[in-house]
Amino acid sequence: MPHAFDVSNGAIDASASVAPHPADWAFFLDLDGTLLDLAEAPDAVRPADDLQHVLTTLEAASGGALAIVTGRAVSFVDQLFAGHSFTVAGLHGAQLRLQGQGAPAIAARPAGFVAGARLARAAAQNGVLFEDKGDAFALHYRQAPAAAKDVHAVMTRAQQLAGADYKLRPGKFVVELAPARQDKGDALRHLMTLAPFLGRRPFAAGDDVTDEAMFKAARDLGGFGLRVGARADLAGSAAAMGLPNAAAFRHWIRSLTP
C-alpha cells in the first residue's frame, strides 16, 4: 500500500493504519483529479483500464455503500462506466441517481440560465473551453491560464443573468455555474441517511476546493477525508490525509479489497 500524507502533522504515515475497511465504511469519491487523471479538455478524460473493476469490487465489498460525487452530470459518469450504474451525486449534488437506476432527466432551463450559457459559450476561444453539463455549464482555462481574470468576469456576468438559483463554483482552471441548492457535503449527508450508507462511517476523497464540503461532512459524521494533490495544497484542508495524485489514489483504493 502506498504511503499517505498525514495532514494533521505534516508527516508521512503508513496509510494502512487509517485505511477504511469496506465492511464498516461508506465511500464518497470525486471523479476528475481523484479517480481520473486530469486532461487538457473536459471531454478527454478516460478511466484507467481496471478502474471500473476496482470500483465495482469496492462497491460489493462495502455492501453497495459507494457513491461517485462529482461536478459532472450523471449521464457523463454513465458514459465512462458503461454497463454499470453506480450511485452518483452529479452537478455537486443537484442530481442524484441511486445504484441501478436510470439517469435523471435534465430540467427545463430558465431563460436567464440559457442567456448566461450563451454568453459563456461565446467566450470559449483561444484555449478557453466551454462545457455544457445540461443543468450546469463551465469555462475551462487550463490551456489558457492567462485568461483566468476574463473567465471569472464572464462567468460572474453569466451568474447574474441566471439568477440566485445558480451559484459559481471555481475550481482548478475552471469556473462552473451550477444549481445553488446543493453542494457535495449536502449530497454526502443525504446519502448517509439512506441504505446501504446508513450506519456506516463516511470516507470522502477529492482533489479540489469543491470537495472541502465533503471532507467537513465526513468529519462531522465520524469519518474523514483524503485530499489528492501536492502537500502544499493540503494546508487548511478539512481532509485528514492526502495522496499526491490520482494514480496514487487509484493504487490506494485497489489495496482496500483483496
Active site residues per annotation: 30
**Residue type at 149 in one-letter notation:** K
Cell numbers placing 115:
442567456
